[in-house]
C-alpha cells in the first residue's frame, strides 16, 4: 500500500490547508460558527497537522516493517521446498 493511501496524510494535508487559510485570512475565517475566535487557532491547526503527519509516518513505517517480516517468514519456507525437491 502506498503512503498516499493512508488517511493520516490526507487529514494532515487538510489541517495544513485550514491553518494556511487562517494565517492568510485571519482566524475568523476558520472559526466554527458561534465559537469565540481564539488568536492561536491557525497555530493549533498547524500543530494538529504536524501531529497527524508524524502519526502517518510512524504508522507507515510500522506497516512496512510488518510487510518485511511477513516476506521474511515466507522466504525460508519457499527455500526449504525448493531444496527438498
Structure confidence at residue 5 as a pLDDT band (50, 70, 90) = confident
- Structural domains in the chain (count): 1
How many angstroms from the chain centroid is the CA of residue 6? 6
- Domain with 60 in it: 3-84
pLDDT at 21: 97
What pLDDT digit, counting tens, does each position of 17-69 carry?
Answer: 999 999 999 999 999 898 889 999 999 999 999 999 999 999 999 999 999 99
* pLDDT band per the 50, 70, 90 thresholds, residue 6: confident
- Res 73: pLDDT: 87
Q: Which helix (H) or strand (E) holds 40?
A: none
- Distance of alpha carbon 34 from alpha carbon 47, whole angstroms: 23
Structure pTM?
0.77
Amino acid at each position: 500500500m502506498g503512503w498516499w493511501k493512508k488517511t493520516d496524510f490526507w487529514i494532515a494535508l487538510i489541517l495544513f490547508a485550514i491553518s494556511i487559510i487562517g494565517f492568510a485570512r485571519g482566524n475568523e475565517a476558520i472559526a466554527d460558527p458561534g465559537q469565540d475566535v481564539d488568536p492561536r487557532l491557525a497555530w493549533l491547526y498547524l500543530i494538529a497537522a504536524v501531529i497527524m503527519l508524524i502519526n502517518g509516518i510512524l504508522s507507515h513505517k510500522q506497516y512496512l516493517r510488518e510487510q518485511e517480516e511477513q516476506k521474511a517468514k515466507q522466504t525460508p519456507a519457499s527455500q526449504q521446498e525448493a531444496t527438498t525437491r
